[in-house]
């Protein structure tokens, strides 16, 4: 049975609203007439949201604060999570990404929220065999972050099976102004210490953040059944080499074509991870970064096209230069 669609002036709560995707989502929601409330864990991050957005203190790990944030809310976007690069232990990932998700769902149930959009990750599928992968591909998490996102998604599916109006969204690799992950790659290419591990032919599926939040917004108004899962990906699936060439061209530099064998580099990365973990920080080279060059991350997005009419509009040849220009204006790139 379809969950109830939302339209302005229905109020929307966004967890994780001070993060990269969350800030863009809040802007899209306010521009489209929705009153927005953000649950923020730290007062220092409250200045990251645009004017007109209500900010309330709280933490997804604290059910009482989430219950207070739910008062008067009709819809929820749950984005709050620890990211894969965070130098924290397994227990902390599960506490935030799984148990925190259960707290937000529990509070939404008590508040009789009419639509709950859980923002998961394509990472729950791991490396894709025979890409592109659809939403019904089996779970295959390959690290603690992906496992924690799988557990959070399974909790969301359980609530949906019990009748809660939950929809699950899986973004692909998201890039755009404000993204720190792609900034690291751009800096490495610009400073010419980027190199390929392998032949650079594995396929990637980036989505520009403005496209993503439009797709997420469509999930508020579409007739979607409880428990529906939608992958939101970009307009192109490209080999990693082509993506890096577009980045290099956008910055006016030549891409180095240095290739390094996988196994020796992966061994060195493992040693670095152990050393940096001792100091509680992220290693400059990790096994996940090495494996990035060998794992297909390409997805079938036809379900989102069919059910919510979504089609990404920003090609890499437009989105990457816009992102580079934003970083340069912010002083993050030379």
Q: What is the pLDDT of residues 139-155, one digit of tens each?
A: 999 889 999 999 999 99
- If you average pLDDT over every residue of the chain, what do you get? 92
Position 152 in a domain: yes
Position 162 in a domain: yes
Whether the pLDDT of residue 44 is over 50: the answer is no
Position 220 in a domain: yes
Assess contact for 234 and 312: CB atoms under 8 A. Answer: yes
Q: Residue 79 belongs to what domain range? A: 12-172+207-233+297-312
One DSSP character per residue, 100-136 reads: HHHHHHHHHHHTT-SEEEEE--GGGG-SPSSSSB-TT
In which band, very low, low, confident or very high, does the pLDDT at 86 lie, cut at 50, 70 and 90?
A: low
Position 59 in a domain: yes
Whether the pLDDT of residue 297 is over 90: the answer is yes
Position 71 in a domain: yes
Which pLDDT does position 244 carry in this prediction? 93
Domain with 125 in it: what CATH number? 3.40.50.720
Position 163 in a domain: yes
Q: How many domains does the chain have?
A: 1
Position 260 in a domain: no
For helices 316-330 and 240-251, angle between their N-to-C axes, nearest 10 degrees: 50
- Assign 49 to helix, strand or coil: coil
Position 107 in a domain: yes
Whether the pLDDT of residue 252 is over 60: the answer is yes
Which pLDDT does position 2 carry in this prediction? 66
pTM: 0.92
């Amino acid at each position: 049975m379809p969950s109830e669609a939302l339209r302005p002036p229905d109020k929307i709560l966004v967890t994780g609203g001070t993060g990269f995707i969350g800030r863009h989502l809040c802007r899209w929601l306010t521009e489209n007439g929705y009153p927005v409330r953000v649950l923020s864990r730290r007062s220092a991050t409250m200045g990251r949201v645009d004017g007109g957005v209500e900010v309330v203190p709280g933490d997804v790990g604290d059910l009482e604060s989430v219950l207070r944030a739910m008062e008067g809310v009709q819809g929820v976007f749950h984005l709050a999570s620890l990211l894969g690069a965070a130098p924290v232990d397994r227990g902390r990932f599960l506490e935030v990404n799984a148990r925190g998700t259960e707290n937000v769902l529990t509070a939404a149930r008590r508040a009789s929220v009419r639509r709950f959009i859980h923002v998961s990750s394509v990472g729950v599928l791991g490396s894709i065999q025979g890409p592109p992968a659809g939403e019904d591909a089996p779970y295959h998490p390959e690290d603690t972050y992906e496992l924690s996102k799988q557990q959070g998604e399974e909790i969301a599916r359980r609530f949906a099976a019990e009748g809660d109006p939950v929809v699950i969204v899986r973004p692909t690799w998201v890039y755009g102004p404000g993204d720190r992950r792609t900034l690291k790659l751009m800096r490495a290419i610009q400073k010419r210490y980027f190199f390929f591990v392998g032949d650079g032919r594995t396929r990637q599926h980036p989505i520009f953040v403005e496209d993503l939040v439009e797709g997420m917004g469509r999930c508020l108004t579409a007739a979607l059944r409880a428990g529906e899962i939608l992958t939101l990906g970009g307009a192109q699936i490209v080999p990693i080499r082509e993506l890096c060439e577009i980045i290099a061209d956008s910055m006016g530099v030549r891409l180095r074509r240095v290739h390094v064998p996988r196994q020796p580099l992966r061994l060195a990365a493992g040693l670095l991870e152990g050393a940096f973990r001792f100091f509680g920080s992220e290693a400059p080279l990790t096994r996940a970064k090495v494996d990035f060059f060998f794992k297909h991350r390409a997805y079938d997005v036809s379900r989102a096209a069919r059910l919510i009419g979504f089609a990404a509009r920003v090609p890499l040849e437009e989105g990457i230069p816009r992102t580079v220009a934003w970083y340069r204006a912010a002083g993050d790139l030379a």
